[in-house]
Structure formats: structure tokens, C-alpha cells
Structure 1
Amino acid sequence: MEKTILTNMVMIEDGKGNVVVQDRIKTWKGLAFPGGKVEKGESFVESAIREVKEETGLEVSSLQLCGVKQFQTELDERYIVFLYKTDVYKGTLVSSDEGEVKWIPLNQLKKADTVEDFDQLLEVFQKHSVSELYYEQNQVNVL
């Protein structure tokens, strides 16, 4: 049986063209959307809501599944990221030990210091015709 790691990432929009980004400071460095691992017994949506609260201080709801990102790790585990977006939130941004969080205009992300593959991730978040980002032997496929 294949070992699988389940995670999530959430694009939070303010309705004015801005999104929440986190300047990740651990292994995957650069600007990205908040998110993290799904814990045992937790639904995918519940995990995304919890991770956003832990990393940003915001309480989100009405999450829409945009697609997935997946790849094999160096330990031959399948790593799956469920990609959600929402414009329903309340609270005030608070940074965490995962990195500083802030609002940034969505149209500035292409020029920003984002994490590796973020341009391809944005395609999954924004295009209805794209639902998967898949890595196969060092080749990136957007499907």
C-alpha cells in the first residue's frame, strides 16, 4: 500500500483584488497561501479551516475546492495538496511561527518572491479548465 500525506492550501480573497499570503520561512521558502497537514480523523475542509486559523488568525468558511497538487516524495510517499479558495472570512491577520502573513494584490504575485511552482499553482486556483498540478519524474504537468 502506498503511504500518502494529505495537506491543504487556501487562497483567501478580499473581493478587492487582494489575497492573503504567508512568507514561509521553513523548508518551502517564499510567499504562498496558508495551509498545512490534515490530521488523523479530520475532514479536508476542517483541516483547511484549522490551518488558516493557526497560521493567519482568520476564521474562514465557504471553502471551494479548486483542485489538487500531487507528487512523490523522496521517500516514495504520495503527497497531495487540496487547493481551496474563499472570500468569506472574519478576524484580523496575525502572523505565526510559520511566517509573516499579509494582504497583497493578486496581480502582483507573479512579480513577488513566491515559493517554487507558485505560478502553476495559481493556474489551478484561477482557471476552471485546470484541476491538477502533478509532478512526474521532475516534469510539471498542469491538467
Structure 2
Amino acid sequence: MEQMNRNTPVELTNMCMIYDDQGNVLVEEKVGKDYKGIVFPGGHIENGEPIVDSVIREIYEETGLTVSNLELCGVKDWVKEDGNRYIVFLYRTNTYSGTIQSSSEGNIFWMSLEELQAREPFWHMDKMIEIFCHKNYSELFLDGSHGNRVPILK
């Protein structure tokens, strides 16, 4: 019997919702040439790096804050046009220290979660907030089987 190759090339990333006791979240206004919008900070996982360590590193690099007590909320994932899979590990925490500072990736500031939810969604932030804030879902899959990527909460 022929064995199937189940190895799939994967790009691993992370994102973290940092929140306070007043209903605010730390957001990043991205300033890339191909995108502009408000998201939670995060980034790529380096080769051989533990996922939690990557979140701590990325948050520090992008915000100046040191985070701890990270809670894994779920994932956002999709299959890219080249067949590679893209996975974003979604974490949250309200444990942080330091002073916020913006980086070359974007402007960092506090915003009420209510105000963020009222904005035009960027990168499916409305669906990701469902994962960050509720226990109803653990995955946001962008289903590209019909051409456009349709966001599906699972």
C-alpha cells in the first residue's frame, strides 16, 4: 500500500490581544505598503523557536511591553495559493509590564474593545475577536475552496 505524504509546508505566526480591566485592548495600526488597518500585535515564529517565546518576543519588539500568563484562545488559518498553510496562533493576556512604544511595524495605542468592534473589520478582526473573547470557537478558517476566502468560525 502506498503511503501518502502528509507533510505540508507551513508558515507559523502569532497574534496577542493584550487587555486591561477597563475594557481596553492594545492595538497596532499597521503601516505596510500593501495594508493599513488596526490589528493586535504579533508576528512570525522563528525556526526552532517555541511558540510562546515567539509571542513574548514579538510583543516586546512591536509594543515595548513584556507579557506573561499567555492564554491560547485558538487559531486563524488558511491554505495559500501555492498550497502552503498559514497558521496564526491567537493568544490573550492582561499581564504585562513596561511602557508602550510604537515600532516600524505601526503605531501602538489603547482603544476600547467596543470601539474596535465598531470599526470596519481588517484581516477578519471581527471574527478573531469572537475567538479572543468567547469560548464558542477555537478556529477561524479562511475557506478558499470556492475562489474567495470565506471566513468560517469553528
Q: What TM-score comes out, normalization by structure 1 length?
A: 0.95
1:44-83 aligned at under 5 Å gives the runs: 44-83=51-90
1:15 shift after superposition = 1.3
Residue 114 of structure 2 is aligned with which of 84, 87, 107?
Answer: 107
- 1:133 maps to 2:144: no
Letter in 2 for 1:92: T
Letter in 2 for 1:111: A
Inter-partner Cα distance in structure 2 for 1:15 and 1:63: 16
RMSD, aligned CA: 1.1
**Structure 1: stretches of 5+ with no match in the other structure:** none
Who is 1:7 aligned against?
13
> Higher relative CO (CA 8 A, sep ≥ 6), structure 1 or 2?
1
Q: Deviations over 1:27-60 (max 9, x none)?
A: 4420000000000111110000000000000000
Contact 1:30 1:113 (8 Å CA) reproduced: no
Letter in 1 for 2:151: V
Letter in 1 for 2:129: L
Inter-partner Cα distance in structure 1 for 2:142 and 2:31: 23
Residue 21 of structure 1 is aligned with which of 23, 27, 32?
Answer: 27
1:113 shift after superposition = 4.8
Aligned length: 143
1:102 shift after superposition = 0.1
Who is 2:92 aligned against?
85
| Bigger Rg, structure 1 or 2 | 2
Q: Deviations over 1:1-48 (max 9, x none)?
A: 311000000000111111100001114420000000000111110000
